[in-house]
Chains A and B, each alone.
Chain A
Amino acid sequence: MKFKTFAAFVAPSLVMMLLFIAAPLVSVFIGSFQLHQPVLQEVEEETCTPGFTGQTCTTTIVTRPLIDESGNMITTTDWVGWTNYTRVLNPEAAWAAVSSLDWSALMQIDFWAALRFTLMFTLVTLPLVIGVGLAIALVVNNAAKTIRGPVIFISLLPFIITPVIGALSIRWLFIGDGILTAGLEAWLDRDLALFAQAWTIELMMMFYRVWHVAPFAFVIFYAGLQTVNQDTLESAIIDGANRFERLRYVIVPHLAPLIVFIALIHLMDAYRVFEEIVGFTSQAHVISLQWLTYDFLQPDDSGNRAFGRASASSMLTMVGIVVLLIPLLRRTWRDHKGGSH
């Protein structure tokens, strides 16, 4: 292909990527080293508020931002170096906790508590998603042709549900005396409060994520299973390989690139765990890195947001994903160079 033709085809998506991926990334990167502040003044204000018998007026000193002629707040932007990162990571306190082997002190720092949960969530759900996805794919592949359609449809349902809605549904099933909690209570004959401690909430979150994402793995694996070389399978049978051996030595190696692909996608997705935290209102017990960024951005009643720390925390999240992906990317790269495909 001529370079010109190639460029004409690629240019639009390149422009899109620069505009919608690169530019925001750069702006967040820059923002993580900046601090925006309104210019404030202290003024004495008399405020009168209603009571039942009459008004109560109080005079207090309040801080109000300065407003310019066009009605905008005057703000200053300072380069603050690593300050935002230090405020998020709190390295001093973290190091003190680590060197005194005080786990609970480390978990008092939001970032590290979030990192702990995010990593655990990602690494525990990964094998489960792959395992459950593969199991469903094998079952469907071996199911009679007539019921295959409906089975595929039903297995895909969890994936179709919007994540937040799915998380909320699970929450309603279990919170307080929700149907399932009430059912469990009747069955186990004891009082349960699944939202009262961290580990039950974490368990529900992981169950929810596996339930939600396994169908995606299933679809990919099911497609992969259709391309397994039947001759190899037959010769394996003739060689006396049992069902497990055929799976171990023929099917899994054939699906290996797909397993890597699903692992990549899942790591990226799960590391950004967010819907579960919001859906289960688990902030008291468990938070994730993505939720931390969201929390920094969320304005309080007086409209303050922590843009700088939010940028720093999202840069750190990105770095985390890249670190997690390195082993898998290296494997894919090796495979490509080896020319095995």
Chain B
Amino acid sequence: MNLRPILMAGAISAVALPAAADCAFENTVPLRSLSAAFEAWNAVTDAMTECGNFEAELSQEFRTLQPEAMAANPALYQLGGVSNGTVTPLLNAQTIRPLDDLVEQYGQQLRPNQLIRINGQTMAIAMMVNTQHLMYRSDILDDLGLDVPETWDEVLAAAEVIEAAGVVDYPLGATMATGWNLAQDFNNMFLGYGGQFLNSDGTPAVNSEAGVNSLETMMALTEYMDPEYLVSDSTYVQQQFQQGRIAMANLWGSRGAAMDDPAESQVVGLVDAAAAPRAMEGGPPATTLWWDGIVIAANITDEEAAAAFRVAMEGIDTEMVQANNDAAVWLIEGYEPGRLAVGAIATATADPAPTAYPSTSQMGLMHSALGNALPAYFTGDVSAEAALAAVEAAYITSAQEAGVLE
């Protein structure tokens, strides 16, 4: 945890500035937005602010705040930033509105690719894709004559060589912080091994061969990591890279630009990206695909919704992308994939392709159960089978409580 997310969590609000010339129209309706706090959202909300009367809140706690804030009538925020994971509670509670009319009226710049359609209705506008993929120190791999690993077995072999050469503190990094991060790392590996989270009758199915394989591979990887891997989140891994302490990690694409930030990074130009490694031969890259995008609240007037949509369109226009090209893998017209976007694109276009993270109530429950029960395996308290059995038991309890399982 470094200072930046903390400061951001302290509700950094870009207070509305007088309308500048960069916005195509002058917004007169007071608008607010709530979104996650990473680089891309900074860029987008800054561009929106230029239209005037707009206040952006970027918060690490947005996933807790958003469902309640959108459910209020009138909604506390007209605009929301979501991902395919966090859009689920909004869809469940029907607190976001279909955008088809607005897209037709004001959204000529949008590519068909950007429209998130559910049963034919456009419910969100995607602006970027994100995925965890392999980032590596090209200089170290070159020096040691190693090829870029394409499977996790190759990653282990390369890690062994790097360890023996002793060029970095730890060959590998991973976002394995207890809770959400660890569960997501497991999800990546599990899907890479061709696992299915649920049986057709809704009962959990993680205690399977794929589950055990995933845990064993992850455990093998931890041999080459900082022993404090259970507290290492995305920011921590990013810093390990920036400080030259690790050589490889399966890390979020949205963290790529930070590697070349001369103010923070000691390894500018030395980190390259490749597709996420495969867990098994002929399988998909062991990762999931995510999108981030914009939704508009249902509990507001049509006038507000129209204004919010127009401001949002200013936020995700070509001009913004050109100014912030490397902040994300944008889906927006005018984007030129940079050096570090190559990995994310190779991941998404791999054959067979990785699946999109499933945005369902069941997956939310499963994600929590995994995050709570898996650490016991990594601390050495229980076997892989026992940890996965505990995940299933936790899932059954919470699924029965939530009413999604008999």
Residues of A within 8 A of B (CB): 35, 37-40, 45-57, 60, 62-65, 67, 71, 73, 87, 104, 107-108, 110, 168, 171, 175-176, 193-198, 281, 283-285, 295, 298-304, 306, 308-309
Contact = CB atoms under 8 A, between A and B. Distances in A.
A303 B178 contact: no
Contacts, number: 171
B178 A281 contact: yes
B73 A64 contact: no
B376 A281 contact: no
Sorting the interface of chain B by its residue count into under 10, 10 to 19, 20 to 34 or 35 or more gives 35 or more
A65 B182 CA distance: 29
Contact of B113 (A40, A55, A107, A299): A55
B403 A67 contact: no
Nearest to B236: A176
Contacts of A55: 112-113, 115, 117
Given A46-B117, A49-B84, A301-B364, A35 B401 contact: yes
Interface string B360-392: 111111011000100110110110001000100
A285 B404 contact: no
A55 B110 CA distance: 14
B64 interface: yes
B395 to A, nearest CB: 11
Contacts of A62: 360-361
Interface string B154-195: 000000000000000000000001110010000000000000
Top-6 shortest CB links A-B: A302-B364, A303-B89, A284-B375, A196-B227, A284-B178, A193-B227
B93 A65 contact: yes
Interface of B: 1, 6, 63-64, 67, 73, 84-86, 88-89, 91-95, 112-120, 126, 129, 177-179, 182, 226-228, 230-231, 236, 289, 291, 298-299, 331, 345, 348-349, 353, 356, 358-365, 367-368, 372, 375-376, 378-379, 381-382, 386, 390, 397-398, 401-404
Most buried by B among A55, A196, A284: A284
Contact of A306 (B94, B353, B358, B401): B401
B88 A54 contact: no
Contacts of B331: 50
A284 B360 contact: no
Given A48-B115, A50-B126, A302-B361, A195 B231 contact: yes
B117 A45 contact: no
B117 A63 contact: no
Given A301-B63, A303-B67, A50 B116 contact: yes
Given A45-B118, A52-B349, A302-B364, A281 B401 contact: no
